[in-house]
Chains A and B, each alone.
Chain A
Amino acid sequence: MQLRSYAEINEKISKGQVVVVTAEEVLGLVEEHGVEETARRVDVVTTGTFGPMCSSGAFLNLGHPAPRMKMARVYLNGVNAYAGLAAVDVFLGATEIPAADPANQNFPGAFNYGGAHVIEDLVAGREVLLEATAYPTDCYPRQKLETWIKLDEINEAYLYNPRNCYQNYNVAVNLSDRTIYTYMGILKANLGNANYCSAGQLSPLLKDPYYRVTGIGTRLFLGGGTGYVAWYGTQHNPAAARGENGVPRMGAGTLALIGDLKQMKAKWLRGVSYLGYGVSLQVGVGVPIPVLDVETLRYAAVRDEEIFAQVVDYSEAYPQRIAGSLGEVSYAELKSGTIVIQGREVPTAPLSSYPKAKEIAEILKSWILRGEFTLTEPVSKLPSADSGIKLNPLKVQK
């Protein structure tokens, strides 16, 4: 039975009567009043996550110099931006490293600077060095350019992240006898530590496991500004194994997000460096969940104790794509600081910040309460568990 519509929620927002709680606060309410009563009382639940999301980047239109230029090769602070688009349009990928970076030649590489840091510098309002070359044409005669740019001086700049907000993720460990350096951080030998990467009970897609209310066109908090779900993300895998509560027990759904870079804040878009691995962008995302019915709230009220992730060996099983898990642990266990794997106590560390995720859910809540942010009904659904979509490995044929 429907409790309220998007239009009714937005009317309450405009009148200042909307009831909004964060995905953490809702847990206490459900404990006290039960799911049905809480669903009647609460209009919107806000979620949040702040973690490394490698599949991120920005489209920029740099503007034309005089004389005009095609800009076939473009570097921003020494980092290559893809320019195989119309003249002066580029895509700057978060994980791109400068051509002169030694990468892992002196192992493990430090990866102190890359595309993600350029994005952070731009958003922070800092000047960025633009170097471009091109072949000359009659319409675009200029062949070389070197100048400084700032975010507010260029034309359009929007973040377009093909894969964000992974719905659940692996817990990474190392069974080998040497330290390994991965996108899941430094993993010490012989089960020295276990790293995980999800906000758990605050994470957007874990609170809407079947994408009932999060779809294409959903307005959200992105990097400190407003953004939208553009499409389902790359590697979207809604058919992944789920628990009885519907929550995926491993990496499943993903979102492709878009938003105006000029509205964003460097605090919520941070360039980060993973020793021996590379550069990534730490992205802040918050998604509002409209409590349309009791079912929506039941899903939004799932706790860390009820969300499970698979423990995967990153020394052998993951790189060699060998299926299988060393076991399953809950986010409550992960957050306690130690988990037990193969009978051994292993210390845990997150890569995704829980306090920052909470801060994002609070900010989104305050935007809605102040009437600055209204909810959008998805224009189209994301493929869900019944869609038949599955993750295809690459067949190497030669």
Chain B
Amino acid sequence: MIKRKVVLRFPASVVEYPFIYTLAKEYNVVANILKANINPRKEGRMVVELSADDKDFDAAMDFLQSRGVIVLPLEQQVNWLEDRCTQCGACTVICPTEALWMKRPEMTVSFNGEKCVVCEHCLKACPARAVEALYLSGE
């Protein structure tokens, strides 16, 4: 079983094709669409979580690429907005990996991106909304 978040880029020529339906029907792929849009040049971009058996997953990837769809790995990143942070500390007991942590005895909040696992619990735990999640596609 493979479960992976990817970014799909659709050229204008295929943007009207029902890919998600085909993935489900022909390849038994479960697609959870996280974000999707079509730009004015009619090119599509979709952030999607795909899960399927290994064999089905590989076949699905081959199918997408054969139709001209570019499949890119998704990288997620949490950004701590220091300017918006009010240094309260509410996030520090919610963060499971101590990526958001408190320097003592100064009691200042800091963020260590290397420890962050992008669970996104902090996004709603921060009263000042000083954390944001970014989806990067490595484009």
Residues in A lying within 8 Å of B, measured CB to CB: 50-52, 108, 110, 112, 185-186, 188, 192-193, 195, 270, 272-275, 280, 282, 335-337, 347-356
1/0 per residue, CB under 8 A from A, across B81-113: the answer is 000001111111110000000101111100000
- Complex partner residue of B124 from A52, A275, A352, CB under 8 angstroms: A275
Residue of A nearest to B128 (CB): A272
A195 to B90 alpha-carbon distance, docked (Å): 8
Contact with A along B112-139 (1 / 0, CB 8 A): 0000000000001101110000000000
How far, in whole Å, are A188 and B128 apart by their CA atoms in the complex? 20
B108: which of A50, A110, A188, A355 is its contact (CB, 8 Å)? A355
Q: Which residues of A contact B89 (CB under 8 A)?
A: 349-351, 353
| Chain B residues in 8 Å Cβ range of A272 | 86, 127-128
Q: Once the chains are docked, how many angstroms separate the CA of A348 from the CA of B87?
A: 15
CB–CB A185/B104 < 8 A: no
**Complex formed: what's the CA distance from A52 to B128 in Å?**
11
Q: A351 near B88 (CB under 8 angstroms)?
A: yes
Say which residue of A110, A273, A336, A352 sits within 8 Å of B88 (CB atoms): A352
Instruction: Please determine whether B128 and A110 come into contact, CB atoms closer than 8 angstroms.
Output: no
From B87, B102, B105, B128, residue with most partner A Cβ within 10 Å:
B87
Question: Provided the pairs A270-B128, A335-B107, A336-B104 are in contact, do residues A186 and B94 lie with their beta carbons within 8 angstroms?
Answer: yes
Residues of A within 8 A of B88 (CB): 51, 282, 350-353
Complex alpha-carbon distance, A361 and B108, angstroms: 16
Q: 5 tightest CB-CB pairs across the interface, nearest first?
A: A272-B127, A354-B107, A193-B93, A349-B93, A353-B87
Contact (Cβ within 8 A) B86 A270: yes
Q: Whole-angstrom distance between the alpha carbons of A207 and B90 in the complex? A: 25
CA of A319 to CA of B62, assembled, Å = 57
Kindly provide the distance from the CB of B93 to the nearest chain A CB, expressed in whole angstroms. 4
Q: In the complex the two chains form, what is the Cα distance from A171 to B19 in whole Å?
A: 53
Kindly state the interface size class of chain B when it binds its partner.
20 to 34
Q: Is A112 within 8 A of B93, CB to CB?
A: no
Partner of B92, one of A50, A275, A349, A355: A349
How far, in angstroms, from A192 to B129 measured CA to CA in the complex? 22
Q: Which of A112, A347, A351, A356 contacts B90 (CB 8 A)?
A: A351
Q: How far is the CA of A282 from the CA of B129 in the complex (A)?
A: 13
Q: Closest Cβ of chain B: how far from A49's Cβ, in Å? A: 12
Q: Which residues of B contact A353 (CB under 8 A)?
A: 86-89, 107
- B85's closest neighbor in chain A, by CB? A353
Question: Known contacts A347-B93, A349-B89, A356-B87; can you find 18 more A-B pairs with CB under 8 A?
Answer: A50-B86, A110-B124, A188-B93, A188-B94, A192-B93, A193-B94, A272-B127, A274-B127, A335-B104, A337-B104, A349-B90, A349-B92, A349-B94, A351-B88, A351-B90, A353-B86, A354-B87, A354-B107
Contacts of B129 in A (CB 8 A): 112, 273
B92 / chain A contacts, CB cutoff of 8 Å = 349
Q: How many angstroms from the CA of A198 to the CA of B11 in the assembled complex?
A: 56
Chain A residues whose CB sits within 8 angstroms of the CB of B127 once the complex forms: 52, 185, 272-274, 280, 282, 351
Residue of B nearest to A50 (CB): B86
**Distance in angstroms between the alpha carbons of A149 and B86 in the assembled complex:** 27
From B88, B93, B129, residue with most partner A Cβ within 10 Å? B88
- A354 to B103 Cα, complex, angstroms: 11
Taking the closest CB of chain A, its distance from the CB of B80, in whole angstroms, is 15
14 contacts between A and B (CB under 8 A): A186-B94, A193-B93, A270-B86, A270-B128, A272-B128, A349-B89, A350-B88, A351-B88, A351-B89, A351-B127, A353-B87, A353-B88, A353-B89, A354-B106
Hey, which chain A residues are within 8 Å of B108, CB to CB?
355
How far is B86's CA from A273's CA once the two chains are assembled, in angstroms? 12
Residues of B with C-beta under 8 A to A347: 93
Q: Which one of B91, B93, B105, B124 contacts A348 once the chains associate, using CB atoms below 8 Å?
A: B93
List residues of chain A with CB within 8 A of the CB of B94.
Answer: 186, 188, 193, 349
Task: Tell whether, in the assembled complex, residue B87 and residue A186 are in contact, meaning their CB atoms are under 8 Å apart.
Answer: no
Query: Which B residue's beta carbon lies closest to that of A353?
Result: B87
Given A348-B93, A353-B87: A275 and B102 interface contact (C-beta under 8 Å): no
- Measured between C-beta atoms, what is the minimum distance from A382 to chain B in Å? 27
> A275, B105: Cβ atoms under 8 Å?
no
Least Cβ distance of A311 to chain B in Å?
15
Distance in Å: Cβ of B83 to nearest Cβ of chain A: 10
Closest to A268 in B: B86
Chain B residue, CB-CB nearest to A282: B86
A335 to B104, CA, bound (A): 8
Q: Which of B49-107 contact A (CB under 8 A)?
A: 86-94, 102, 104-107
Contacts of B87 in A (CB 8 A): 353-356
